[in-house]
Amino acid sequence: MPTVSVIIPVYNAEKYLSRCLDSVLSQTMDDFEVLCVDDGSTDASRVILEKYASRDKRVSVLSQANMGVSAARNAGLEHSCGKYVCFLDADDYIHSQMLEMLLKVAEDYNVDIVDSFIEKVYADSKIKSEHYDFSELDVAVFDDPFAYFMKNRKLKSSSNARMYRKSILKGIRFVTGIRYEDVPFSVETMFKAKKLALIKQQFYYYFQHQESFMHQPFVIKNVDDYAKVMRLVYEIGESECSDKLVYLQRNIINTRFKMMVNQAVRRQQNEQVQKQVFAHMQQRVRQLYNDGVLSYSGLRLKHKIRLFLLLHCKSAEPCRYLANLI
Of the candidate ranges 11-25, 71-85, 262-276, the one whose mean pLDDT is the lowest = 262-276
SS (H, E, C) 135-155: HHCCEEEECCHHHHHHHCCCC
pLDDT beyond 80 at 203: yes
Specify burial of residue 292 (Cβ count, 10 A radius: 0-12, 13-18, 19+).
exposed
Tens digit of each residue's pLDDT (9 = 90 or more) over 109-160: 999 999 999 999 998 887 777 899 999 999 999 999 988 777 665 446 789 9
**Residue 325 confidence class, pLDDT cut points 50, 70, 90:** confident
Look at residue 326 in the predicted model and tell me its pLDDT: 76
Tens digit of each residue's pLDDT (9 = 90 or more) over 204-244: 999 998 777 777 899 999 999 999 999 999 999 998 877 77
Can you tell me the mean pLDDT for 256-261?
94
Look at residue 153 in the predicted model and tell me its pLDDT: 53
pLDDT beyond 70 at 22: yes
Can you tell me the mean pLDDT for 42-47?
98
Specify burial of residue 213 (Cβ count, 10 A radius: 0-12, 13-18, 19+).
exposed
Tens digit of each residue's pLDDT (9 = 90 or more) over 91-109: 999 999 999 999 999 999 9
Look at residue 313 in the predicted model and tell me its pLDDT: 96
Which position has the higher pLDDT, 85 or 239? 85
This prediction has a pTM of 0.95
Look at residue 166 in the predicted model and tell me its pLDDT: 98
Look at residue 156 in the predicted model and tell me its pLDDT: 66
Q: Are 119 and 202 in contact (CB under 8 A)?
A: yes
Tens digit of each residue's pLDDT (9 = 90 or more) over 167-200: 999 999 999 999 999 999 999 999 999 999 999 9
Look at residue 3 in the predicted model and tell me its pLDDT: 98
Would you state the torsion angle of the CA atoms of residues 294, 146, 154, 135, taken in this order, to the nearest 10 degrees?
-170
Percent of the chain past pLDDT 70, that is, above it, reads 98
Distance CA 308, CA 283 (A): 13
